[in-house]
Amino acid sequence: MRIIVGISGASGVVMGYEMLKALRMQEDCEIHLVITQGAIENFKYETDMEIKEVMKLADYCYDDKNMAASISSGSFRTDGMIVIPCSMKTVSAIANGYGANLLVRAADVCIKESRRVVLVPREMPLSRIHLDNLKKAADYGCILLPPMLTFYNHPTTVKEQVDHIVGKVLMQFGMEHKAFIPWEGK
């Protein structure tokens, strides 16, 4: 598989980091990473991680301003894209085709080429504008997977909640996450 991961400037950049780690554990998965400037700032505010360590988890990293990167073209084949976390600014740009940076352009390419795009929107409460943009993105084929809390798996840490979200995203691409605890039924 060849997956693009976009990490935008929403709170929750640790989810992007955990996604990269989970993708790294997948067999034959090539990871293309775009991190926005806002996300780089959030890594400083929300974590103790060095951005270079985050970037090492990807096979290819692109500057968000590099509109000539391979992932900006539909002729560069991928299996899709994950934007985690996805800021409302990024949702709006994707929903309205405003390719102002490489992350949004890569999502636009995936949409026009009918490739899977999974957005993990991070905002609350949601305004009517947010909801309109999310609906528009869904209407264009994006899969919306907000990071909702889950309790049936009896999580005791934030990490377990993040693992659940990462596992749900990977399921969209037919992949599994070892730390994901699925509902077993009764």
Ligand-binding annotation for 115, yes or no, is no
Q: For position 105, what pLDDT does the model report?
A: 98
Residues 98-110 pLDDT 10s: 999 999 999 999 9
Q: Is 75 known to sit in a ligand binding site?
A: no
User: What pLDDT does residue 184 have?
Assistant: 83
How high is the mean pLDDT of the chain?
96
| Mean pLDDT, residues 164-178 | 96
Instruction: Render pLDDT for 138-168 as a digit per residue (tens, 0 to 9).
Output: 999 999 999 999 999 999 999 999 999 999 9
Residue 168 annotated as binding? yes
Does residue 122 have a known ligand-binding role?
Answer: yes
Q: Is 56 annotated as a binding residue?
A: no
Rg over alpha carbons for the chain, rounded to the nearest Å, is: 15
Q: Is the dihedral of CA 17, 22, 81, 61 positive or negative?
A: positive
pLDDT at site 182: 85
For residue 56, give both structure tokens: 């090492």
Query: Any binding-site annotation on 44?
Result: no
- Give the confidence band of 127 by pLDDT, cuts at 50, 70, 90: very high
So what's the pLDDT on residue 58? 98
Domain CATH number, residue 100: 3.40.50.1950
Residue 178 within any structural domain of the chain = no
**Total domain count, the chain:** 1
Residue 110 is predicted with a pLDDT of 98
What's the confidence (pLDDT) of residue 62? 98
> Residue 2: is its pLDDT beyond 90?
yes
Bridge partners, 118 (sequence order)? 82, 143
- Judge whether 185 lies within some domain: no
Q: Quick check: helix, strand or coil at residue 112?
A: helix
Residue 93 lies in a domain: yes
Q: What is the pLDDT of residue 183?
A: 86
Residue 45 labelled as part of a binding site: no
pLDDT above 80 for 118: yes
pLDDT digit string (tens) for 18-34?
999 999 999 999 999 99
Is 78 inside a domain boundary?
yes
35-62 confidence digits (pLDDT tens): 999 999 999 999 999 999 999 999 999 9
Q: Which two tokens stand for residue 73?
A: 């073209």
Residue 138 lies in a domain: yes
**Is residue 89 marked as binding?**
yes
Please check whether residue 179 lies inside any domain of the structure: no
**What is the spatial distance between Cα 183 and Cα 186, in angstroms, rounded to a whole number?**
9
On whether residue 184 sits in a domain, the answer given is no
Q: Which residues span the domain enclosing 106?
A: 2-172
Q: Specify if 157 maps to a domain.
A: yes
d(CA 164, CA 148): 9
Evaluate if residue 170 carries a pLDDT over 80.
yes
Establish whether 10 is an annotated binding residue.
yes
From 143, 136, 139, 131, select the one nearest 168 (Cα to Cα): 143
